[in-house]
A and B are shown apart, each in its own frame.
Chain A
């Protein structure tokens, strides 16, 4: 898994490539929480390069989402591949996060 971070003013974009599975969930969660604490604006997670999301990956996103909620900021997801979009729809994440 690879995570590229781009800063755009107060906002941050995280471009993720690879699998969001159990081994990668912790580093992914750490990167997200680092971005939450190290920025003040919206955080966008670009999932165009992600072809596999397991429950561990979903939970990492949920942890970051809760942290953003506490900070009263928005976590946005974008460029989801169709099979990844399906897991977000089924799990109810589509109603929790803004998906572009």
Chain B
């Protein structure tokens, strides 16, 4: 009873520790993780090493795959660049199995003491320190979990464990490892459980061989299952993840089968090697699985890419998520980089009308297409924001800094406008037949946003016209609001939807106005709020 509780507590602590470690490390290192992974563009080897280091630090090949997928979508990496990163990340995660094979109890005590003292003496006041303390706490819990898992079987006899596990050699062991990895979504956990069972002699090294092989493949499949929502390039990297696992298993198993042909008994060989340190042999086996799979996928990068592309072709969203102008290379020359960022922003503005429904064509359901446009536009906007932040960090000249800050303001406004237009469109989509007010709001907003997009192709005249078109209309909208609250509109839900649409419309117009003001020539020098001109009155 105590043993099973200890084992479950150990697993719980291990999972909490991994979650804390991965989450806080990504927050603490943030851009540095991205910079480390971006090194993959230099060569496959550097990509493999970057992935390995990141995987060893974060202890989650899934997290590294996800970050790489985001870098691919933002155009910072190609799929070909990301393949060695994902392969290397798998190798990096084997560090945990090595840690589990040694006694970390003393390290746990010191870590817990350190974290506790830091909290007690309020050393967690800055956000950065809080994140790093979270990392240490995650590490401490992870190590504590490992100790619990290793200790648990010692409270029961090897015979009892063996009776519970039954005969799990060969295919059954493979299946058991596969299932454990699918459930825990981690090959390392299954390997660590193996280490604990070997420690008390409940299972042998040969049984462990099959369990670890099954767990290795299971974790790859688990990653694909848990990434069910991912499509296109994101899913391609999940397939790369499976390739690493599957190729590793296939190569190691083939060697296992081939050894008797050259006069070796693989089972006896394994037992001889692991006589003194069976745990260490399991760690080595785990590492070899990742290394062989990772190396094969990295060497045959083109074939892996082609197969992954075939299994998950790029989607429309992948296409619209790619920045067209900004790139890391451009950072070297800040004036050119700013010019490229301005072009990217201009392109984002030109695509804003794609976020709104066309009520003239209401029989055509384009909501999924618009959702993809929004996610893609959002990804480019985020990448542009990141690009500007990194550029501003490079000690720009006064003029360049002014322009960078202006572009940053525009990027922020576009991001908010994208979200507001999407929320507005979602409300309009609720109607099978929009009521007259919803129709008028939607068509008015489309006109304004089209005019905003048009300013990127035409001249200053159109910009001034847009500023006039988006001028304050709170009196008109308040009148409509009052009439709405006073009128009987059937269900309260309908009135609430119309009021929400009205608020989102007002916000969109205000954001368009603010954006138009920043687009005026010289807006970064003087943010003068000039009187809007009209078509007939100037």
Nearest B residue to A73 by beta-carbon distance? B536
A92, B448: Cβ atoms closer than 8 Å: yes
B443, A55: Cβ atoms closer than 8 Å: yes
- How many whole Å from A58's CB to the nearest CB in chain B? 4
A90, B468: Cβ atoms closer than 8 Å: no
Q: Is B296 an interface residue (CB 8 A)?
A: no
Q: Is A31 an interface residue (CB 8 A)?
A: no
B477-498: CB near A (< 8 Å → 1, else 0) gives 1001000000000000000000
Contact of A96 with B444 at beta-carbon distance under 8 Å, contacts A22-B360, A59-B450, A86-B437 already known: no
Q: Cα distance A65–B534 when bound, in Å?
A: 10
Which residue, of A65, A70, A86, has the highest number of chain B Cβ atoms within 10 A? A86
**Beyond known contacts A62-B447, A70-B461, A90-B480: 17 more, CB 8 A cutoff:** A21-B360, A22-B360, A54-B443, A55-B360, A55-B447, A56-B360, A68-B535, A69-B536, A75-B535, A87-B444, A92-B444, A92-B468, A92-B469, A93-B469, A95-B473, A96-B534, A97-B535
State the main secondary structure of chain B at its contact with A.
helix
Q: Which residues on B are within 8 Å of A, measured CB to CB?
A: 358-361, 436-437, 440-441, 443-444, 446-448, 450-451, 461-462, 465, 468-471, 473, 476-477, 480, 505, 509, 534-536
Q: Cα distance A7–B380 when bound, in Å?
A: 52
Nearest B residue to A98 by beta-carbon distance? B536
Q: Which residues of B contact A74 (CB under 8 A)?
A: 536
Q: Which residues of B contact A65 (CB under 8 A)?
A: 535
- How many whole Å from B465's CB to the nearest CB in chain A? 7
A90, B535: Cβ atoms closer than 8 Å: no
Q: Which residues of A contact B359 (CB under 8 A)?
A: 54
B447, A66: Cβ atoms closer than 8 Å: no
- How many whole Å from A27's CB to the nearest CB in chain B? 15
- How many whole Å from A86's CB to the nearest CB in chain B? 5
Q: Which residues of chain A (62-100) have a CB below 8 Å from chain B?
A: 62, 65-66, 68-70, 74-75, 83, 86-87, 89-93, 95-98
Please tell me the size bucket of the interface on A.
Answer: 20 to 34
Q: Is A35 an interface residue (CB 8 A)?
A: no
Which residue, of B358, B360, B361, B469, has the highest number of chain A Cβ atoms within 10 A? B360
A91, B535: Cβ atoms closer than 8 Å: no
Instruction: Supply 16 A–B pairs (Cβ within 8 Å), ascending by A.
Output: A22-B361, A53-B443, A55-B358, A58-B444, A58-B447, A59-B450, A68-B535, A75-B536, A83-B436, A90-B444, A90-B480, A91-B443, A91-B469, A92-B471, A96-B534, A97-B535
B468, A22: Cβ atoms closer than 8 Å: no
A96, B535: Cβ atoms closer than 8 Å: yes
Q: Which residues on A are within 8 Å of B, measured CB to CB?
A: 21-22, 53-56, 58-59, 62, 65-66, 68-70, 74-75, 83, 86-87, 89-93, 95-98
Q: Cα distance A81–B480 when bound, in Å?
A: 17
Q: Cα distance A82–B22 when bound, in Å?
A: 59
Q: Cα distance A36–B401 when bound, in Å?
A: 46
Nearest B residue to A53 by beta-carbon distance? B443
Q: Which residues of B contact A91 (CB under 8 A)?
A: 440, 443-444, 447-448, 469
Q: Which residues of A contact B436 (CB under 8 A)?
A: 83, 86
Nearest A residue to B441 by beta-carbon distance? A90
Q: Which residues of A contact B443 (CB under 8 A)?
A: 53-55, 58, 87, 91
- How many whole Å from B39's CB to the nearest CB in chain A? 47
Nearest A residue to B532 by beta-carbon distance? A95
Q: Cα distance A93–B469 when bound, in Å?
A: 7
Q: Which residues of B contact A87 (CB under 8 A)?
A: 440, 443-444
B536, A55: Cβ atoms closer than 8 Å: no
B535, A89: Cβ atoms closer than 8 Å: no
Q: Which residues of B contact A68 (CB under 8 A)?
A: 535
Nearest A residue to B353 by beta-carbon distance? A55
- How many whole Å from B428's CB to the nearest CB in chain A? 13
Q: Which residues of A contact B535 (CB under 8 A)?
A: 65-66, 68-69, 75, 96-97
Contact of A96 with B536 at beta-carbon distance under 8 Å, contacts A87-B443, A90-B476 already known: yes
B473, A92: Cβ atoms closer than 8 Å: yes
Q: Cα distance A89–B471 when bound, in Å?
A: 12
